[in-house]
């Protein structure tokens, strides 16, 4: 029997030169875990399981795992969990993005190397879901995503608090001396109080919605709060569905297609979702050889309304989104714009899903397509002499009065330079200037951190300024807001025009024209090019994963994946 016709423990045998011996030995060792012979003849659902003492968002995974296993067993297969790397957003140095590809490789190789007929991907915190989808797509056995679900909110006086838009809001107040040390410490203890992912439409919730619209997770599961009993029922149903996938043989490469990626981009735009999701979706699609040019994002943005009134763009939180109708309500509004023939892990198409009757929708949280919050999508790509490969602006979270503007550059050459000088009372800056941060892109020493939300210099914030144009090759947390141009490509460390900007240069931003231009004469730029030194790290001075990362990471417009992880024809 060929290996792909085998199932359960008989798949992918360890090679001792005698396959019958290998199976005999494997069954014997598996028996030592207390399984009966009957259990060991069943089909196997692997469960990629990344809890960690360094990942608060996955705190409830043991309980969720029990529910997945219950579902798998009830459907007649054997559930076997296996650990993978876990990425807790705020616990990783220099930034979690650096380790997304490592988790993707770990997930892919452990799916491929171990004997499983289908896999449940348990993820949640920002980089974990994209890493799992990247890995599972490359491994390409039947796979289904189960997300952690968002935290529920807490209270501070009369205010609701949810990680982590309110983290930034209160930190801004503290920097502007509006609240004191005692109050910020109280807020610190109240921002994140339950298991689950950030409580707003940040990266984790955006990726949860993207996994659902791609067709990789069960309908209606993206927004269920982490601590709600429905989350456990979703986990049980995911276990049952994973067994169904073994029969139907639906694989990720049949679910994630150019058409479903387009649906995901539509949803991202309608949610006013995280800018990080552009990088992650590009990386997931890239595993299939599907390009996601930023011009595609702009084309879709022109015809996709913003429908969701959630922080950081709007007023509400993920639990409100869940009760308001969740992603299903958004998809119904977007129906005429979606590719309805896309297959999902249930075996149904997206169109089939949308034929079922809908619950009432709370229009304070999810607008109708007839009366959207914005007529155009929440994200826009900018191109021009400062960003020939493109840059991203989350216009739904930005200040419209700054959209058509020319300003003087105030340049910070690195994150260290920024932190040393941003609060210097002598810093030469006004509210009409553009703050520019260099050398925070993927190949810089900082590894493209979520530092694009540059702090407003204290001399301006203390006078009440809450926004200023900020430009960098860094990323921004999905929970942040402001007129912030991110992912400038090529990055400064790779010699992009961003590296050539000097204090006092003029920059023009036009959201209407999708332009970001450095207004400096080409001869002068050429002269500067002769003396800039690269801040890229030299792989010859590095070792291990650091070296691999420095040598292989692609630019933001390619999803920051590793070049060698792409399909062979794209390498
Ligand atoms: Fe895990 Fe925000 S810290 S999702």
Q: What is the DSSP string of 366-383?
A: B--TTS-SBSS-S-EEEE
Q: Render pLDDT for 160-212 as a digit per residue (tens, 0 to 9).
A: 999 988 998 899 899 888 999 999 999 999 999 999 999 999 999 999 999 99
Q: Supply the mean pLDDT for the chain.
A: 96
Which of 391, 439, 443 has the alpha carbon at shortest distance from 562?
Answer: 443
Whether 450 lines ligand 1, by a CB cut-off of 6 Å, is: no
- Count of beta carbons in the 10 Å neighbourhood of residue 157: 9
Res 99 pLDDT > 80: yes
Sorted by sequence, the CB contacts under 8 Å of residue 380 that are 6+ apart come out as 297, 298, 301, 392, 393, 395, 511, 514
- Measured in Å, residue 143 CA sits from the centre of ligand 1 at 23
| Average pLDDT estimate for 499-514 | 97
Task: State residue 4's pLDDT score.
Answer: 58
| Average pLDDT estimate for 21-30 | 97
Task: State residue 393's pLDDT score.
Answer: 96
Residue nearest to atom 1 of ligand 1 (CA): 125
User: From CA 215, how far away is CA 30, in angstroms rounded?
Assistant: 34
259, 341 contact by CB (below 8 A): yes
408, β-bridge pairs: 506
Whether 89 lines ligand 1, by a CB cut-off of 6 Å, is: yes
Task: State residue 164's pLDDT score.
Answer: 87
E strand map for 69-184: 78-83, 118-123, 143-147, 154-156, 159-161
- Measured in Å, residue 129 CA sits from the centre of ligand 1 at 11
Helices and strands (H, E) in the chain, number of each type: 19, 14
Whether 87 lines ligand 1, by a CB cut-off of 6 Å, is: no
Res 395 pLDDT > 70: yes
Which of 315, 310, 308, 351 has the alpha carbon at shortest distance from 329?
Answer: 308
| Average pLDDT estimate for 24-42 | 97
Region of 477 please: left (phi>0), alpha (psi -120 to 50) or beta.
beta
User: From CA 503, how far away is CA 501, in angstroms rounded?
Assistant: 7
* DSSP element (H, E) containing 515: strand 515-518
- SS3 state of residue 566: coil
Q: Render pLDDT for 416-457 as a digit per residue (tens, 0 to 9).
A: 999 999 999 999 999 999 999 999 999 999 999 999 999 999
User: From CA 410, how far away is CA 501, in angstroms rounded?
Assistant: 9
What is the number of the ligand 1 atom nearest to the C-alpha of 205? 4
Q: Percent of the chain beyond pLDDT 70?
A: 99
What is the chain's percent helix, strand, coil content, to nearest 5?
40, 15, 45
HEC string for 48-92: EECCCCCCHHHCCHHHHHHHHHHHHHHCCCEEEEEECCCCCHHHC
| Average pLDDT estimate for 80-99 | 97
Which of 403, 222, 206, 179 has the alpha carbon at shortest distance from 311?
Answer: 206
- Measured in Å, residue 192 CA sits from the centre of ligand 1 at 10
* DSSP element (H, E) containing 291: none
Q: Render pLDDT for 284-316 as a digit per residue (tens, 0 to 9).
A: 999 999 999 999 999 999 999 999 999 998 999
Top mutation candidate among 52, 60, 125, 225 for ligand 1, by most atoms within 8 Å of CB: 125
Give the residue range(s) of CATH 3.50.30.80 domains in the chain: 379-536
* Cα separation values, 360 from 129, 220, 222, 308, 365, Å: 29, 14, 18, 15, 12
* DSSP element (H, E) containing 340: none
Q: Report the DSSP pairing between strands 515-518 and 506-510.
A: antiparallel
E strand map for 321-429: 380-384, 387-393, 404-412
Whether 57 lines ligand 1, by a CB cut-off of 6 Å, is: yes
Q: Render pLDDT for 311-369 as a digit per residue (tens, 0 to 9).
A: 998 999 999 999 999 999 999 999 999 999 999 999 999 999 999 888 899 999 999 99
Task: State residue 535's pLDDT score.
Answer: 79
- Domain 379-536 falls in which CATH fold? Glucose Oxidase; domain 1 (3.50.30)
* Cα separation values, 492 from 306, 414, 486, Å: 32, 10, 12
What is the number of the ligand 1 atom nearest to the C-alpha of 203? 4
Instruction: Using pLDDT thresholds of 50, 70 and 90, give the confidence band for residue 481.
Output: confident
Q: How many CA atoms lie within 13 A of 3 on its CB side?
A: 12
Taking only Cα atoms into account, the Rg of the chain, rounded to an integer number of angstroms, comes to: 24
Res 1 pLDDT > 70: no
Ramachandran angles phi, psi of 169, nearest 5° = -60, -45
Res 5 pLDDT > 80: no
Task: State residue 329's pLDDT score.
Answer: 97
Residue nearest to atom 3 of ligand 1 (CA): 89
User: From CA 537, how far away is CA 452, in angstroms rounded?
Assistant: 20
Whether 91 lines ligand 1, by a CB cut-off of 6 Å, is: no
Whether 197 lines ligand 1, by a CB cut-off of 6 Å, is: yes
Q: What is the DSSP string of 439-469?
A: S-STTSTT-S-S--SPPPPHHHHTTT----E
- Count of beta carbons in the 10 Å neighbourhood of residue 372: 16
518, β-bridge pairs: 507
Top mutation candidate among 52, 55, 57 for ligand 1, by most atoms within 8 Å of CB: 57
Task: State residue 536's pLDDT score.
Answer: 82
270, 310 contact by CB (below 8 A): no
Task: State residue 2's pLDDT score.
Answer: 54
- Measured in Å, residue 314 CA sits from the centre of ligand 1 at 19
What is the number of the ligand 1 atom nearest to the C-alpha of 204? 4
| Average pLDDT estimate for 250-279 | 97
Whether 198 lines ligand 1, by a CB cut-off of 6 Å, is: yes
Q: How many CA atoms lie within 13 A of 41 on its CB side?
A: 3
- Measured in Å, residue 151 CA sits from the centre of ligand 1 at 9
- Measured in Å, residue 499 CA sits from the centre of ligand 1 at 31
Q: Percent of the chain beyond pLDDT 90?
A: 92
Q: Report the DSSP pairing between strands 78-83 and 118-123.
A: unpaired
199, 153 contact by CB (below 8 A): yes
Res 270 pLDDT > 60: yes
Structure token pair of residue 47: 């469960």
The DSSP secondary-structure symbol of 524 reads H
Whether 274 lines ligand 1, by a CB cut-off of 6 Å, is: no
Query: What is the value of pTM for the model shown?
Result: 0.96
Task: State residue 3's pLDDT score.
Answer: 58
User: From CA 137, how far away is CA 256, in angstroms rounded?
Assistant: 8
Task: State residue 479's pLDDT score.
Answer: 79
């Amino acid at each position: 029997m060929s290996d792909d016709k085998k199932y359960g423990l008989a798949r992918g045998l360890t090679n001792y030169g005698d396959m019958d011996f290998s199976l005999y030995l494997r069954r014997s060792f598996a028996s030592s875990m207390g399984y009966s012979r009957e259990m060991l003849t069943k089909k196997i659902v692997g469960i990629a399981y990344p809890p960690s003492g360094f990942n608060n968002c996955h705190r409830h995974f043991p309980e969720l795992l029990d529910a997945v296993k219950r579902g798998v067993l009830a459907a007649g297969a054997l559930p076997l969990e296996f650990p993978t790397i876990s990425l807790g957003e705020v616990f990783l140095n220099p930034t979690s993005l650096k380790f997304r590809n490592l988790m993707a490789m770990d997930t892919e190789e452990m799916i491929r190397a171990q004997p499983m007929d289908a896999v449940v991907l348990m993820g949640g915190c920002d980089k974990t879901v994209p890493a799992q989808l990247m890995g599972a797509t490359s491994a390409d056995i039947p796979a289904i995503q189960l997300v952690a679900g968002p935290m529920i909110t807490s209270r501070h006086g009369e205010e609701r608090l949810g990680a982590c838009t309110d983290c930034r809001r209160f930190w801004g107040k503290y920097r502007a001396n509006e609240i004191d040390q005692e109050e910020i410490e109280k807020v610190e203890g109240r921002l994140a109080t339950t298991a689950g992912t950030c409580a707003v439409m940040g990266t984790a919730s955006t990726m949860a919605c993207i996994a659902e619209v791609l067709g990789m997770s069960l309908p209606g599961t993206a927004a269920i709060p982490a601590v709600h009993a429905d989350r456990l029922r979703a986990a049980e149903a995911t276990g049952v569905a994973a067994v169904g996938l073994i029969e139907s043989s639906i694989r990720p490469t049949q679910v994630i297609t150019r058409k479903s990626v387009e649906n995901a981009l539509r949803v991202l735009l309608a949610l006013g979702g995280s800018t990080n999701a552009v990088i992650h979706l590009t990386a997931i699609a890239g595993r299939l050889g599907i390009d996601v040019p930023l011009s595609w994002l702009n084309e879709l943005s022109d015809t996709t309304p913003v429908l969701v009134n959630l922080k950081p763009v709007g007023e509400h939180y993920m639990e409100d989104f869940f009760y308001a109708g969740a992603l299903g309500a958004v998809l119904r509004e977007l129906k005429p714009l979606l590719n309805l023939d896309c297959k999902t892990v249930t075996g149904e198409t997206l169109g089939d899903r949308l034929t079922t009757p809908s619950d009432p929708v709370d229009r304070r949280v999810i607008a109708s397509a007839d009366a959207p919050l914005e007529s155009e999508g929440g994200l826009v790509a900018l191109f021009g002499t400062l960003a020939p490969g493109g840059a991203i602006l989350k216009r739904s979270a930005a200040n419209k009065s700054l959209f058509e503007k020319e300003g003087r550059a105030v340049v910070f050459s690195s994150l260290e330079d920024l932190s040393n000088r941003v609060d210097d009372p002598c810093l030469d800056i006004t509210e009409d200037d553009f703050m520019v941060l260099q050398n925070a892109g993927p190949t810089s020493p900082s590894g493209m951190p979520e530092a694009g939300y540059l702090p407003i210099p204290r001399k301006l914030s203390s006078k009440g300024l809450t926004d200023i144009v900020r430009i960098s090759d860094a990323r921004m947390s999905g929970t942040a807001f402001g007129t912030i141009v991110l992912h400038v490509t090529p990055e400064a460390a790779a010699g992009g025009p961003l590296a050539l900007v000097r204090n006092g240069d003029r920059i023009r931003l036009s959201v209407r024209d999708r332009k970001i231009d450095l207004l400096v004469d080409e001869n002068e730029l050429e002269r500067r090019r002769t003396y800039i030194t690269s801040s890229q790290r030299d792989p010859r001075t590095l070792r291990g994963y650091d070296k691999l990362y420095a040598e292989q990471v692609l630019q933001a417009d390619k999803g920051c994946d590793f070049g060698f992880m792409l399909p062979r024809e794209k390498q």
